[in-house]
Chain A
Amino acid sequence: MAHQKTPYQWSARGFVAPGVILVAVLLYLPLLWTVFLSFTKYNGLGSPTWIGLDNYVEIFTDGDFVGSALNTVLWVIGTLIIPVGIGLAIALLTWNLGGGIWLRLPFLIPYALSGIGVGVVWSFILSSGGALDQALAAFGITDPPRWLLDAPLNTIVMIIASSWQGVGVNALLFTIGLQAIPKEPLEAARIDGAGGPRLFTSILWPMLRPLTAVVVGLSIVASLKTFDIVWGMTKGGPGTVSETLALTMYKETFVNSDYGLGSAIAVFLTVITLIASVLYLRQQLSPKKEM
């Protein structure tokens, strides 16, 4: 038998309704519309034409799309190793250190910048004849690498530029995780003689696991949707060699006005991101794995 709704429940629904309506209209309807568009040919004018799975067939048979996907994988790996790794190192080195916040602050400031702004600044540094080339010339290096023109070097240097922006927030998150570790096991470990690498591998790293899971999860999601910094630095070029999936999606939708193909890439990217996030977080945060 259904529960009788209490006046409290009714009034609660009234207050929740605006939020639910907004989320449904601004989030789920566009999502469903995007899924629908992915099965159509549509240039943004008139009515979409249903073409079934053609867009999906096209993205999987297009060499450029495969290149975009490989670059995206490079971004996922790169942003796991560099900003997460350096962020952890900074958090560990400044943890329990007097004035540690002042040491972390400079790393945190770039996080306040927009990705496109970071892209523009770094393109001045890395473009041919730019700041880095001029600095290298001062040391007699007159034939430097072509940072943004050769693949996969251009993707690698853009990952480094992105890391410059992302290290600070990872350091901050790891610092919060370190500060949340209870003092007792640490003291016990120290009394038992554990220090340095042993303290890290046996105590700190396992106890940081829930936070590491979140940081890595966020990093994977952020790198899968990498767009702004690449758009700001190379526009995905030369040609298409530094495109990511998100950039290919943008290009097909808004440059080529192929809304159907762009939507198919968006759906593919969403599915991949959801699968990666759910699998990773379930594996990492399952109760059985907790300390």
Chain B
Amino acid sequence: MISRRTIAAAAAGLLLGTLALAGCAGDSGSGEAGEVTGTLNFYTDKAAWKPDFESLNEVSGDAVDITLKTTGYSDANQYDAFIKQSFRTDKSPGLFTWHTGDSLKQLVDEGLVAETTDIWSQAVDEGWVSEDLRDSYTFDGKQYCVPMNIAYWIMFYNKAAFADNGVEVPTTWDELNTAAETLKEGGVTPYYQTSVLFTFQWFQHLVASTDPDLYAGLTTGDVKYTDPEIVDIMNVWLDEQKAGWFSDAGSTTDPAVGLKQGDYAMINFGTFFAGNLEGAGMTTDDYGMFAIPAVNDSLDTTPVAVESGPICTAENSKQRDLGLAYAEWWMSPDAQTAWNDAHGDVAFNPKATVSDPALAEIGEQIAGDGYSLYDRFFEAMPTEIVTTAIEQFGAFNANPGDPMPFLEKIQATADKYWAEQE
């Protein structure tokens, strides 16, 4: 016969086990459906920007009575996995940063993010955002998420390196090449490059500004990476590598520090890189910015890569309404002016005030006539192709040579991806 003591011990054991498992599931979260004021749980993979986000709490508290409780991840892959898993729980975020392009499409296809069509309609009507930018957030005629920021991918340069070698800011492709030759002859490496992660930008510029249709064809699979036009472009890049125009791809020196030290004279990066340069101790007296001239000077406009990072609300979040209320405020000029004061970059809202005069100037220049925007390679291509391409461009930077083996590997991934879409 089983004693009471035995039953009690067994029950205690099961209870402990259940409690342990319940502990793993986490708490039920805060906030109720329908609430549009209060504390909003916000998740981001931009951990370094957490103070910038939280510094907006005073402004958003006064304006819409919402403050952010920010959780920042510093590992992007870990963050993406966390967000994906959160949709299965009742802890899906009221607000989170994500990526445009294929990554956002995946969430939309599964019905995981809240629609923001009304917010976009109002913002476009108010002139707070361009129609062009809306396209990156549109799926089947509806909008999802709102832009957290935009960044133009341009060229930063070391003013002293240019001045010492008598180089002026180039306005044509030929002038850029002459500048690179002059700098090289003066003992300064013209361009920065790496073998890890940010390996795609020179390829993206060479393709998009040689023939925008060619770049568009790559994003849809209509153009192959092994097509002769792409091989020709890679050979242009190879010639520049052979001329010694690029820095050592194996260096781990902070790129901003490298530009400050004069390890290279120019670096192709997003406008947010201005913050890194200031962090490295440079001011706009030390560095300048220019839109990279098009390779093909017969183009009507100079193509400039644009990156836009979204902030989204999970459809099944308990804080869905709170998140959407914050997103609506986020689009406003007041919010974007405050964000620009806190963070510093170009602004997607033309009515916002950009605090850095140099960024304001280049933002206005690119938003004006003579320039056209295209999606950055990272967002424009499907994730698997991006991963392989970044690796292969990194390998090319490390060991420049016949481009075909690199391009064939990228195309193999592209073939597999597009075959699965049929």
Contact = CB atoms under 8 A, between A and B. Distances in A.
B250 A148 contact: yes
Interface string A120-158: 000110011110000000000000001111100000000
Given A123-B252, A149-B195, A237 B398 contact: yes
B282 interface: no
A7 B197 CA distance: 62
B313 to A, nearest CB: 16
Contacts of B24: 26
Interface stretch (B74-82, B225-233, B291-299): B74-82
Interface stretch (B3-11, B45-53, B322-330): B3-11
A46 B110 contact: yes
A114 interface: no
A224 B80 CA distance: 26
A148 B383 CA distance: 26
B391 A237 contact: yes
Nearest to A236: B391
A18 B392 CA distance: 49
A235 B251 CA distance: 14
B179 to A, nearest CB: 24
Interface in B15-69: 16-18, 20-21, 24
Contacts of B395: 237-241
Interface stretch (A189-197, A251-259, A278-286): A251-259
Nearest to B84: A44
A17 B17 contact: yes
A257 B391 contact: no
Given A10-B2, A254-B77, A256-B387, A21 B21 contact: yes
A246 B124 CA distance: 47
Nearest to B393: A239
Contacts of A237: 195-196, 391, 394-395, 398
B387 A255 contact: yes
A25 interface: yes
A174 B84 CA distance: 46
A251 B80 CA distance: 13
A143 to B, nearest CB: 12
A97 interface: no
A149 B400 CA distance: 12
A43 B106 contact: yes
Contacts of B106: 43, 45, 257
B225 to A, nearest CB: 15
A25 B406 CA distance: 44
A274 B251 CA distance: 39
Chain A, interface size category, equals 35 or more
A22 B112 CA distance: 31
A162 to B, nearest CB: 19
B279 interface: no
A128 B250 contact: yes
A182 B197 CA distance: 56
Contacts of B18: 21
A129 B253 contact: yes
B248 A14 contact: no
B360 interface: no
Contacts of A236: 391
Interface in A228-250: 234-241, 250
B196 A235 contact: yes
Given A15-B9, A15-B13, A254 B248 contact: no
B374 interface: no
A13 interface: yes
A161 to B, nearest CB: 14
A128 B398 CA distance: 11
A240 B109 CA distance: 31
Contacts of B358: none
B177 interface: no
A132 B84 CA distance: 42
Contacts of B394: 237-239
A240 B395 CA distance: 8
A7 B6 contact: yes
B12 interface: yes
A180 interface: no
Given A7-B3, A238-B398, A256 B249 contact: no
Nearest to A20: B17
B236 interface: no
A18 B17 contact: yes
A26 B91 CA distance: 20
B5 A11 contact: yes
B384 interface: yes
B397 interface: yes
A251 B387 contact: yes
Contacts of B77: 250, 254-255
A16 interface: yes
B25 to A, nearest CB: 11
Interface string A18-62: 100110011000000000000001011110000000000000000
Interface in B60-111: 77-78, 80-81, 84-85, 87, 106-107, 109-110
Given A21-B21, A148-B250, A258 B81 contact: no
B32 to A, nearest CB: 26
Contacts of A130: 252
Nearest to B391: A239
Contacts of B2: 7, 10
A9 to B, nearest CB: 9
A235 B197 CA distance: 9
B367 interface: no
A7 B2 CA distance: 6
A21 B252 CA distance: 46
A45 B87 contact: yes
B220 interface: no
Contact of A45 (B112, B391, B397): B112
Given A11-B10, A240-B391, 13 more contacts: A7-B3, A11-B6, A14-B9, A14-B14, A22-B17, A22-B21, A45-B84, A130-B252, A237-B196, A239-B392, A240-B395, A241-B395, A254-B81
Interface of A: 7, 10-11, 13-18, 21-22, 25-26, 41, 43-46, 64, 123-124, 127-130, 146-150, 234-241, 250-251, 254-258
12 contacts: A18-B14, A18-B16, A26-B24, A45-B106, A45-B107, A46-B110, A128-B252, A129-B251, A149-B250, A238-B195, A239-B395, A257-B84
Question: 5 tightest A-B contacts by CB?
Answer: A239-B395, A14-B10, A128-B250, A238-B398, A18-B17
